[in-house]
Structure 1
Amino acid sequence: MFELALAGPSHGNPFVDVDLSAEFSFEGRTQRALGFYDGDGSYLIRFMPDREGEWTFRTSSNARSLDGIEGRFAALAQAEGNRGPVRVSNTYHFAYEDGTPYYRSGLPATYGHTKGTNSRSRHSGPSPRPLLTKCACACSRRRTCTTRMS
């Protein structure tokens, strides 16, 4: 992943007042990525190139200090064992770029992990089990299936 960090305006409300994007080009192809305000006058644009090689970029912004910045970077081969980004696979599932299924494990940190009252739970003690909708093998047994749950 390529991350471009830029210094820009911090007056007003830069979260909503400043529009920032960049066009990334490689061998005649162009892809656009949006930027965002990261606080303390810092703006970031993150881009994941899909091909190895020398990429160029040019920023576009309604803030003069962020507009028209040009540069280049080299996209290298993936590290050994890196399967690529996770994408939607077969409408309801996820898989890595190389086709390996992706199984998320764990719960979001906000799902009732504390005792007492929070936005999701109004009881004291252990949090309730999440509703498991279907198992990884796509059978209809849900909680009784011994395959990994999705």
Structure 2
Amino acid sequence: MKSFTNKVAVITGAGSGIGRALAQQLSAEGALLALSDVNIKGLEETQASLTGGGKVLITQLDVADRSAFEQYAKDVITEFGHADLLFNNAGVALAQTVNDCSYDDFEWLMNINFWGVVYGTKSFLPHMLERPEAAIINVSSIFGIIALPTQSQY
């Protein structure tokens, strides 16, 4: 993709961090944005920080909720007509050893970090297959590359 002008970029976890930075950069490069996060206040702050002037849709979304993600995809397609980029960016971490991490903690983390990516991909992929330049980008932090004793579950 040589230009992001008028491309529809969907970014989960856009209320802070990497997601916010992606939104800011893509906005500056002319993209249209569908931003989601569980934190609506963070999303509003992200939206206020954008400089590109293009259309922006913000949606409070728990990526671990499959039916909510499916509805979000429908809403984005209805609003923009298509999606060119999906950034599966939402993610969480726990600073605990495996021994100290409860089963509930593991389930919470996996529901967001794993199933959230699956739900996002499955919800948007059918719409994106129609667009030759479309791309799905799965974002991870440094903990996806290096192993630390307190990040094993990541």
Q: Fold match, TM over 0.5?
A: no
More strand by share: 1
| Higher normalized helix content (fraction of residues) | 2
TM-score normalised by the chain length of structure 2: 0.25
Higher RCO, 1 vs 2 (CA within 8 Å, ≥6 residues apart): 2
Larger Rg: 1
